[in-house]
């Protein structure tokens, strides 16, 4: 009996041991197969990297440009965006003779006050994380603060050709508005009420042509926002020796100092959205511009490119320059209601076409300008980059509308190659 129990116990232990050994063996084989697959996948990616790397090295002079063996770069950016967006447009008045007693009370500076100005002037901070593989880069915003500006970008930076596409929002910006015509109309309304009171009291009517003092007022930040779409494409003439990626992203290393001319095409779209600011409940001023230009860039390399100073300047000539305006009224919005008995200046003033937007017509030729400067410092696999970009977009119409859009981006970037 005791012998039977011992044999039964031994058989159970033997079966469990065999099962565990079988499980460990299958796990080991599975890990081996996964490792082989991973190695196969890694070898496949490495072959692609090596092929691309060999091809890229044939396109540059390696005495001037170094292409790092590690083709992946993780980037972290912190940006201060300085944005000014100034707009001025005249009031379109129909030709009509004002009834009495308006000629007696019109301010002397009324002809000069037929305009509206808005001035957006703000600074926004943002943070981005990005990934670069062989010059193809993607950046997305980090959710640090909801009041910060947000930017998304896609870029391809090659030695010969490259492009950038970026979408950015500037929410709750600071600024001022100067509705000179509205202030003039309000002053005329007060003078009209004074005349009516004098008339009711039997007092003599007196003329009043004193000029109106026009004042700017601060805009409530929540009442407007600015959204921009930016796209450019460049072609470098001295692409064997001059590295545009070294200047723009720091992905490549400029080993020796050299300069080059380059050509660029650019498209810029800005949408200034307003809420209860002028004469509509909501309205959008949209500016589309396409321009081309030729410029020059220079890379000053120190210590074999470990330290690099770069600068580029390019004037841009507008080929397409279009300003459009659209607005919507909310019938339940008390802000938009006016006195239906007012048959004075408002009768000569078309509230729903008060701007001088061209809608693709009558825009003047303008010259814009881009300037970029940067400093790169390479430490092994790491890259430290500080850059400053200045862009100016102008719009001028034959009807008198003017838009001046200026952007300054100060960017600090850290990149790690792996």
* Residue 179 near residue 113 (C-beta atoms within 8 A): no
pTM score, whole prediction: 0.77
The two three-digit tokens of residue 324, written as one number: 């459009």
Residues 275/333, Cβ–Cβ less than 8 Å: no
Contact 212, 183 (CB under 8 A): yes
Contacts of 133 by beta carbon, 8 Å cutoff, 6+ apart: 71, 72, 73
Which of 352, 325, 326, 321 has its CA nearest to residue 338?
352
Per-position pLDDT tens, the chain of length 418: 544 444 444 444 444 444 444 434 444 444 444 444 445 546 666 666 666 656 666 678 989 998 888 878 999 999 888 999 998 877 766 555 666 777 788 888 877 877 888 999 888 888 899 999 888 899 998 877 545 567 889 888 888 899 999 999 888 889 999 888 778 878 888 888 888 888 888 888 888 888 888 888 899 888 999 999 999 999 999 999 999 999 888 888 999 999 999 999 999 999 999 988 876 788 888 889 999 999 999 999 999 999 999 999 999 999 988 888 777 777 666 544 444 444 444 444 444 344 455 555 567 888 999 999 999 999 989 999 999 999 999 988 877 788 999 999 999 999 999 8
The partner residues of 90 in beta bridges, in order of sequence, read 115
List all residues 6 or more positions away from 393 whose beta carbon is below 8 Å from its beta carbon. 268, 270, 287, 289, 368, 403, 404, 405, 406
The tokens for 6 are: 């011992």
| Torsion, Cα of 372, 376, 382, 384 (10° steps) | -70
Annotated domain spans of the chain: 1-58, 65-417
User: Contact 131/140 with Cβ under 8 angstroms?
Assistant: no
């Amino acid at each position: 009996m005791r012998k039977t129990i011992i044999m039964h116990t031994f058989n159970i232990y033997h079966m469990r041991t065999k099962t565990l050994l079988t499980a460990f063996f299958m796990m080991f084989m599975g890990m081996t197969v996964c490792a082989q697959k991973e190695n196969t996948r890694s070898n496949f990616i490495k072959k692609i990297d090596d092929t691309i790397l060999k091809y890229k090295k044939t396109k540059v002079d390696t005495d001037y440009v170094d292409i790092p063996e590690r083709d992946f770069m993780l980037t972290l950016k912190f940006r201060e965006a300085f944005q000014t967006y100034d707009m001025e447009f005249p009031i379109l008045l129909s030709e009509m003779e004002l009834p009495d007693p308006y000629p007696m009370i019109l301010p002397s500076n009324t002809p000069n006050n037929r305009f509206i100005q808005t001035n957006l002037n703000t600074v926004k901070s943002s943070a981005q994380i990005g990934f670069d593989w062989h010059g193809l880069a993607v950046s997305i915003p980090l959710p640090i603060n909801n009041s910060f500006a947000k930017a998304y970008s896609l870029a391809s930076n090659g030695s010969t050709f490259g492009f950038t596409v970026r979408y950015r929002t500037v929410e709750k910006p600071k600024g001022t508005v100067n509705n000179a015509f509205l202030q003039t109309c309000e002053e005329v309304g007060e003078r009209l009420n004074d005349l009516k009171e004098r008339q009711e009291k039997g007092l003599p009517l007196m003329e009043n042509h004193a000029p109106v003092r026009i004042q700017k007022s601060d805009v409530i930040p929540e009442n407007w926002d600015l959204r921009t779409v930016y796209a450019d494409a460049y072609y470098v003439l001295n692409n064997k020796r001059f590295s545009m990626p070294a200047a723009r992203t720091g992905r490549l290393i400029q080993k020796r100092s050299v300069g080059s001319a380059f050509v660029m095409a650019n498209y810029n779209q800005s949408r200034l959205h307003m809420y209860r600011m002028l004469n509509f409940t909501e309205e959008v001023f949209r500016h589309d511009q396409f321009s081309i230009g030729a410029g020059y860039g220079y890379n000053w390399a120190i210590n074999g490119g470990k330290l690099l100073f770069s600068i580029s300047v390019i004037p841009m000539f507008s080929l397409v320059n279009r300003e459009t305006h659209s607005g919507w009224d909310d019938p339940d919005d008390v802000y938009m209601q006016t006195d239906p008995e007012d048959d004075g200046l408002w009768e000569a003033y078309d509230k729903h076409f008060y701007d001088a937007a061209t809608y693709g017509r009558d825009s003047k030729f303008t010259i814009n300008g881009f300037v970029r400067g940067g400093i790169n410092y390479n430490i092994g696999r790491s890259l430290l980059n500080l850059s400053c970009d200045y862009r100016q977009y102008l719009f001028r119409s034959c009807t008198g509308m003017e838009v001046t859009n200026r952007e300054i981006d100060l960017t600090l970037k850290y990149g790690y190659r792996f």
